[in-house]
Amino acid sequence: MSFFQKGRPYVIAGPCSAETREQVLETARRLSDGAVHLFRAGVWKPRTRPGSFEGNGAAALEWLTEVKQQFNLPSIIEVAEPEHIELALKHGIDAVWIGARTTVNPFHIQRLADALNGTKLPVLVKNPVNPDVDLWLGAIERFEKAGAVDVGAIHRGFSGYGGENRNQPNWPIPIELKRRRPDLCLICDPSHITGNREKVASMAQKAMDMHFDGLMIETHITPEKAWTDAAQQVTPETLHLILSQLVIKQELGEDTNARVQLEYFRQLMDNLDAEIIDLIAKRLDLSNKIGEIKKDCNMTVYQPNRWREIVETITGRADQQGLSADFIVSIYEKIHHESVRRQLNIMGTTAENQTTH
Ligand code: PEP
Ligand code: MN
């Protein structure tokens, strides 16, 4: 069993930053009633701009050793340099996470993966700041290839300008990660997604509904006075309330009647999917015939007026059916693109066969 799969949700909680020995020990004391599996604390802080608190470094590792001795609570810290990993091991830290700003850089990730080689230290990889599932998975694979035994992922949202959250959740990305790697433990970090303590509970519930395995929630004894990320941290008591109110659903519920109904509708849906694919194939056959005519009569493959006409027709039809026009147009853009590709082939003018003289 993975280090990170000892319950659903697997709960990681603790302050954004380890500020003082008292703050760390008091937060840990109030989190040590069994609901939290792993204590988090930032020891080296990746700050966007210089001049703000950058963490207490190695001194704070001693406080985490005390947390384990006093409260039997294992801890996880962020590492961004090979020396951080060395120090974490020296102080008996139980696991490490890779921050979003580090995951973007494969050179850096490779150095960290090499430093972790042979250590058995479990590692959670936060998504990169940009929405790129391959870059995220690539970082995970670098740790696995270097021999890391327990690797998991943390979804903390993606940078954007504006929007209702601090970082956009962009759910299709973690969903795609889980589709490709169902074996990976996937944790959600509602604190860094929302950036707002009032929204942490609903984002945590959403993560549970999206079948995440666990949660990482920033927790502080006096959140409004926190040295970093003050707006998003919750007190240990609020954390317990959030956890107690979570509704944990199973992929397939207990209700057999509901499962039979689900099966029935899924069968109907599968039949419709088969029809949709048959219809697309028929439509593309027509594109081929049209392509031959265009070739024989020297007409352009792409005809802007015809495409405009199609968009108008499908938009009207989408409206009649109460469907979003943007959604339908985005599907048709793909179909039209395939049509154009086939007709360019018929013309013999695909980019691949074009020769310059
Ligand atoms: C953090 O967890 O405190 C942190 C710096 O996170 P991220 O890498 O997601 O910004
Ligand atoms: Mn933080």
77 lines ligand 1 (CB under 6 A): no
Query: Ligand 1 centre and the CA of 23: distance in Å?
Result: 19
Residue indicated by tokens 């107690």: 244
pTM over 0.85: no
Query: Ligand 1 centre and the CA of 246: distance in Å?
Result: 23
Q: What is the topology classification, in CATH, of domain 258-353?
A: Chorismate Mutase Domain, subunit A (1.20.59)
Query: Ligand 2 centre and the CA of 70: distance in Å?
Result: 25
Half-sphere exposure at residue 89, Cβ-oriented, CA atoms within 13 angstroms: 13
157 lines ligand 1 (CB under 6 A): no
DSSP bridge pairs for 126 = 154
The closest ligand to the CA of 189 turns out to be: 1
Q: What is the pLDDT of residues 69-95, one digit of tens each?
A: 999 999 999 999 999 999 999 999 999
CB contact set of 81 (below 8 Å; sequence gap of 6+):
44, 112
Q: What is the pLDDT of residues 208-261, one digit of tens each?
A: 999 999 999 999 999 999 999 999 999 999 999 999 999 998 877 778 888 889
Query: Ligand 1 centre and the CA of 49: distance in Å?
Result: 14
Where does CATH 3.20.20.70 sit in the chain? 10-245
Q: What are the φ and ψ backbone dihedral angles of 57, each rounded to 5 degrees?
A: 60, -150
- Cβ atoms of residues 90 and 82 within 8 Å: no
199 lines ligand 1 (CB under 6 A): no
229: closest CA among 86, 337, 78, 115? 78
128 lines ligand 1 (CB under 6 A): no
DSSP calls for 186-207: EEE-HHHHH--GGGHHHHHHHH
Helix (DSSP H) and strand (DSSP E) numbers for the chain: 13, 8
- Cβ atoms of residues 246 and 44 within 8 Å: no
Please provide the size of the chain in residues. Answer: 357
Where does CATH 1.20.59.10 sit in the chain? 258-353
**pLDDT grade, residue 353 (50/70/90)?**
very low
Residue indicated by tokens 């603790």: 14
Q: What number does CATH give the domain 10-245?
A: 3.20.20.70
Of residues 48 and 127, the one with the higher pLDDT is 127
